[in-house]
Chain A
Amino acid sequence: AQSVTQPDIHITVSEGASLELRCNYSYGATPYLFWYVQSPGQGLQLLLKYFSGDTLVQGIKGFEAEFKRSQSSFNLRKPSVHWSDAAEYFCAVGAANAGKSTFGDGTTLTVKP
């Protein structure tokens, strides 16, 4: 069965600092991987996705993620965090042929001024 682990429940960074959110997955085949962001009181919005090809994927809002098969990881990065990036971030792994995903428990990002 597929699973996702986000080791960090809560991360605090200063505005302008770099950010890395960790995601580890377990899946038997080549995974479909996603990062979503959820602002308070809102639904989830897709930041980026990986299906195949280049292991470094670019997303919206200046985010990127790197797929590392050997480490079963798909970490999310941003070089310079803005106060508006404060939100909850979810990593998900998809079983593409079944059309459903498994989500991690989320990482809450706080941005200090």
Chain B
Amino acid sequence: NAGVTQTPKFRVLKTGQSMTLLCAQDMNHEYMYWYRQDPGMGLRLIHYSVGEGTTAKGEVPDGYNVSRLKKQNFLLGLESAAPSQTSVYFCASSYGVGELYEQYFGPGTRLTVT
């Protein structure tokens, strides 16, 4: 049982390049989330999904797109990377709401945009 995995672990992009971050979970969780973590700013929610085929905007969605075509995968896309998107990105998943609402986090992807 791998839990939540993220690919890649590190990436360096030039301004204007695009890329996709992949998150996979093997716990049959309904909910999945993408966060970014910047020094002194905690975790900020980018987008989330409450089930296969659904997505919703979080706190800081601009410049990102997501897709949840399969229940176990949640993809985060950057169409035209900017230096302001340099950050550590975390994916998380949870089984549901209420007392099932405990988030399991992946190890993170460190992205640098030059």
Binding site for B on A (CB under 8 A): 9, 32, 34, 36, 41-46, 49, 51, 90, 94, 96-106
Contact = CB atoms under 8 A, between A and B. Distances in A.
Interface of B: 4, 31, 33, 35, 40-45, 48, 50, 58-59, 90, 92, 94, 96-99, 101-108
A101 B103 contact: yes
Contacts, number: 63
Given A44-B90, A104-B42, A105-B42, A99 B107 contact: no
A103 B96 contact: no
Given A43-B107, A99-B97, A101-B103, 10 more contacts: A32-B101, A43-B92, A44-B103, A46-B104, A97-B97, A99-B48, A102-B45, A103-B35, A103-B43, A105-B40
B97 A42 contact: no
A9 B33 contact: no
Nearest to B108: A43
Contacts of A99: 31, 48, 50, 94, 96-97, 101
A90 B42 contact: yes
